[in-house]
Amino acid sequence: MIVPELKTDRLTLRRHQTRDFEASAAMWADPGVTRHIGGRPFTAQETWTKVLRYVGHWELLGFGYWAVFDTATGRFAGEVGFADFKREMDPPLDGTPEIGWALAPWAQGRGLATEAVTAAVAWGATRLQANRTVCLIDEGNTASFRVAEKCGYQRYGQGLYAGSPVQLFQRFYPR
């Protein structure tokens, strides 16, 4: 599967490559990044599993996560994309593509998450075989609430994932 490269004013979203692993592992090891995503830093092994899962999504489902880079500097900024993680949660997501994002500490608070998610959503509007996408956001992650809402997601409920409450957002694609 060829992963499309997306460009925005400031960012390049492209497929993950093995050379991106160190920067990705550093991001996922940062407690500030993971505070609302799992609640603890990820090990290098857990990050490697994430990267393999991202690549596998593209191969098996035709969508997945992109590695995000600052176009001007080439610096790794984070990851964004769609997935079907088969989460065991209530209520179930039933195979609906789930959008997610995480940014390196240096990239946060600069509007880059909104820019990256907007690019992914635009791609999804024409490429996903779904009439909606969802995201689940930790109750305390108000910054991600704002990103989701700026990108057209509306809160539709609350769920429980891994024993923790999450807010559920959805965005519909006209078909």
Contact assessment for residue 127 and residue 57, using Cβ atoms and an 8 Å cutoff: no
Amino acid of residue 61: L
- Over the stretch 5-18, which tens digit does the pLDDT of each residue have? 999 999 999 999 99
Instruction: Report the b/e string of 66-104 with b at 16+ CB within 10 A.
Output: bbbbbeeeeebbbbbbbbbeeeebeeebeeebbbbbbbb
Q: Is residue 175 pLDDT above 80, yes or no?
A: no
Residue 174 has pLDDT above 90, yes or no: no
71 neighbors 115 (Cβ within 8 angstroms): no
The pTM (predicted TM-score) of the whole model is 0.96
pLDDT in tens, 130-168: 999 999 999 999 999 999 999 999 999 999 999 899 999
Cα separation, 96 vs 111, in Å, equals: 26
Q: What is the pLDDT of residues 55-106, one digit of tens each?
A: 999 999 999 999 999 999 999 999 999 999 999 999 999 999 999 999 999 9
